[in-house]
Amino acid sequence: MTDADGGGSGGGTFEVNWQDPSGQTGNQAPTASIHSVSATNTGGDTYEVTVDWSATDPDGNLDTGTITVEDGGPASNTETASISSAVSGSSSSGTETLTITLSGPPPKSYDVTLTITDTEGASDTDQENNNNPREPGLRRVREGDVFRRSTNY
């Protein structure tokens, strides 16, 4: 090791840079995933919206999960239902049902948002809209995702 002046151990200040072997430094954000959303009419404009979700955190410090359902009808986002719960460890999952009154004529429109936050304040959000659902088997691309492709000949 050399000092900042380029010399040996003759005093001065030393600079040491450390990097995690995985290439990551500091707290890593969790990943929020909505797996499925379904709505059941319980009478009139009232619906029960069921959300199947999961969360992971490479640091193992999950803290809170919040699911919000917003009316996406003509008077957009006038009604909101939300539920929050404590999550912990490196992974968590669940199925939550929220009741909401949806405006406008059929087909009813709603937006679902899952936000996962860790104990360091890092967060991730996944969203679904019943008028623009993802195709089954597709996954949202997130910053830092690594893709591998194998081909057999």
**What token pair was written down for 104?**
């406008």
**What token pair was written down for 76?**
């957009």
Cis peptide upstream of residue 107 (ω within 30 degrees of 0): yes
- Could you report the per-residue pLDDT of 33-52, keeping only the tens digit for each? 999 998 888 988 888 889 99
Superfamily of domain 34-129: Immunoglobulins (2.60.40.10)
pTM, entire model: 0.69
- Could you report the per-residue pLDDT of 119-137, keeping only the tens digit for each? 999 999 999 887 644 444 3
Mean pLDDT score across all residues of the chain: 76
For the chain, domain boundaries: 34-129
